[in-house]
Each structure stands twice: as structure tokens, then as C-alpha cells.
Copies of this chain bind each other. A is one copy, B any other.
Amino acid sequence: MTASNSVLVSAPGKVILFGEHAVVHQKYAVAASLGLRTHLYIERTQDGICTLELSDVGVSRHWPLSSFPWDAVRDEKEGDHPIKDMDAGLKTRLVELAGDFANDAQEQALMAFFYLVMSLATPLKERTGFKISTRSFLPVGAGLGSSASYSVVLATALLIVFDYIPVDFASSANSASYFETINRYAFKAEQVIHGNPSGVDNAVAAFGGAKTFLKGKGFSTLEGFQSLRLLLTNTKVPRSTNALVAGVARRKEKYPEVIDPILTAIDGVSLRCKNAFLDLQNGTKDATSLITELEELVDINHCLLYALGVSHPSLEKIRSITGDHGLASKLTGAGGGGCAVTVIRDEVDQATIDTVMALLGKEGFDCYQTSVGGPGVRAVNIDANEDLAWMSRVDMETLEQKFL
């Protein structure tokens, strides 16, 4: 934070491209970064006050850093390592610090924030303070990794403001180590929010690109993954992920001779996707063949999820509308409503995309023209003279594009 007192940070959301539900039953899944990002503005102050504006969850609060329960963690803060766990004693103290909150989303966001501040700040040595404001393009609770995206931008901003990493970490010679540090803190914040997250959401938000994931075996980078154009459509149909996962488990128990091979087929889809990008990287497959293959895999994977009982009329409507225009779609995430992704080949013109988006909009769906597999977390210094603290999310993105 030597060059500037104001930094913009942004990190992508994530979509599951292949393997949702099957991943619960020890099959491969593929997750990729989503072009819809969470943006964070941080401004250093010298008043010892930290201010937090989370417009998307309705939080606007500030606290003296000295009011944090440092006595509960001071012994644990050795070196640069975060506090190991959010133990019950610390949690009670932080809930007291938070005061009233309106809902779970506010509580989770505040606790993750507190956790990261307590892990990274050094309030007793200086009068450092900061203002943070975030805005996200990611719908909350839609399976698009909004909390991981938040955890990553928050961890990155605090790592920068407390001088653990430089603003230009992404282009630095030590970038690999910096990204690992960001991801490690973001994962800790995700644990505070979710209890037992897989870690794939924060890894995608931090590193970008795509990851293959196998339950119990963790995740690894999908080598050669190329950014792709994508429509993301949110049906806004509410659903219970737990109920949908339980429904698949029941169907598997009732029809093992049918469902087990379906899960094997989905595993085949995910591995096929992985191999397709490797083939592209090795020059044994061209980009046109790759996108055709991805479209076919998207189509097949959706039908297999439909066979598992997790589609919904709204999702079939999306498939019908996009299919009428030659585009392949699948549900992403839990299904039963929620979101769908539509692959957009290079040669699809904007007029077609606009027509499809208008038709989807008429059905009451929110539709975003974006991409998958783009960059992970990025930060940029901005001119301190511009008053950016409380700008709209659109202004923030415009500004970021100007600087990045």
C-alpha cells in the first residue's frame, strides 16, 4: 500500500461446468471461474477505525480496531500465520462485537471479516484503519460461489493493507506464493462461513481458470483450460440444495442398477472435458472440435442430471429457448431451479445472443452475458483523489476496467 492509499480488488465467482451431484458420490466434477465478479474498494486511514460497507447484504458498520477482542487471540498470533480455529470463546466475543444482525448472510459476512482482521491486523502497533466497500455481480445463494468470491477479495484487500502482499501480486515474480497465501486465508474465511467447504470455490475465485475436483481427493488445475463465452441464466426459482441431494441419494438407493451407471457416465463427461483441454494444449484437437465437444458434453450432462430428477420446468424452458437457436445449455449447481449455463461458440453473433437473452428475460429469468475460465483475483492501485468509496457497482467495474 505504499504507492496508493486506495486499491480496487476483484475476484470471480464460479460455476460447476460438469459433475454436480455426481461429485457427492465420489465422481469427478469440473468447476471454472465465472466472469461475474465481486468488487472491493479499500482505502487506508490513520484513525484506527475499520469501516465495512457490504451493500449486497445490507451491512454498513464501523468499529475501532482497538475494540476487537485481541486478548482472546494474542498468544496464538505467531508470525504471519492466521489464528488456527474460530474457537467457541472467540466466537462468542466476536458475536458480541457484531451486535445485532438481520440474517444469516450478514452474520456470516461479519464473522468472516472479523476472522480475517483478527488474523492479519496489527492494531496495537499503529493507528492503521481502513474503509472497505464491496459490490458483487453474483446473486447470493445461487450456487455461484458468491461467498468464496467475497472471502477472496476480503482476504486480498487485508493482505495488501497490512503489507503481507503487494498490490501487483498477480504480476510479481512471487505471484504463485502470493496466490497461495490469498487462497489459504480465503479458505479460512470460507470455513467460518460454511463450516466444512470443499475449498474448490475459493481456489477458483483466487486462481481463476478451471479445476477438477474429486471428493476426498481435493482438486487440481484443469490444464489448458481456455476462457469461453457463456450465458448465465438465473431462473430465480428457489430450491433446497439439501433436498435435491437427498432426492438423488434416494433414487440411487432405489434404483442402483440404473443410477450407478448414470453417475459413471457423468464421471466420463467430466474426464472427457479435462482430456479435451489437454488435447487442445497438446495440439491434437483444434478449438472448433473442442467447442463442439463441450456443447455435446453440456447437452449430455444436463440430460443425465434430468434423469437424476434434479431438473425443473424452468430449466427445460431455458434449454428449449437456447436450443431453438442452436445453443447448448445445462443446469449448473444443485438444479431444481437455480441457474443454467449456455455455451456460446465464437461464431455466434451478438444479434443471436441478444434475441436469446430477450426471450429468456421474457420468461422472468435474469440473464448475464459473461465468460468462464477467466482470471482469478486481481488488484489495482487507484488515484486517491477520486472519491470512490461509496460508488455504485457499475461505476466500480468501469473504473476497474480503466485501470486493469
Q: Which residues of A contact B (CB under 8 A)?
A: 251, 254-255, 257-259, 261-262, 264-265, 268-269, 271-272, 296-297, 299-300, 303-304, 306-307, 309, 313, 316, 319-320, 323-324
- Shortest distance between the CB of A296 and any CB in chain B (Å): 7
B307-A300 in contact (CB<8A): yes
Q: Name the contact of A313 in the complex, choosing from B251, B262, B324 (C-beta under 8 A).
A: B324
Interface on chain A toward B: helix, strand, loop, or mixed SS? helix
A313-B323 in contact (CB<8A): yes
B262-A304 in contact (CB<8A): yes
B262-A261 in contact (CB<8A): yes
Residues of B within 8 A of A319 (CB): 316
A261-B264 in contact (CB<8A): yes
Closest B residue, CB atoms, query A259: B265
B268-A261 in contact (CB<8A): yes
Closest B residue, CB atoms, query A263: B261
Most buried by B among A257, A265, A268, A309: A265
Q: Name the contact of A262 in the complex, choosing from B265, B272, B297, B306 (C-beta under 8 A).
A: B265
Residues of B within 8 A of A268 (CB): 255, 257-258, 261
- Shortest distance between the CB of A347 and any CB in chain B (Å): 21
Residues of B within 8 A of A254 (CB): 296
Residues of B within 8 A of A313 (CB): 320, 323-324
Residues of B within 8 A of A271 (CB): 257
- Shortest distance between the CB of A163 and any CB in chain B (Å): 50
B269-A258 in contact (CB<8A): yes
Q: Name the contact of A265 in the complex, choosing from B258, B296, B300, B320 (C-beta under 8 A).
A: B258
- Shortest distance between the CB of A131 and any CB in chain B (Å): 51
A316 to B324, CA, bound (A): 12
- Shortest distance between the CB of A187 and any CB in chain B (Å): 32
A320 to B319, CA, bound (A): 12
Residues of B within 8 A of A303 (CB): 303-304, 306-307
Closest B residue, CB atoms, query A262: B265
Residues of B within 8 A of A323 (CB): 313
B304-A255 in contact (CB<8A): no
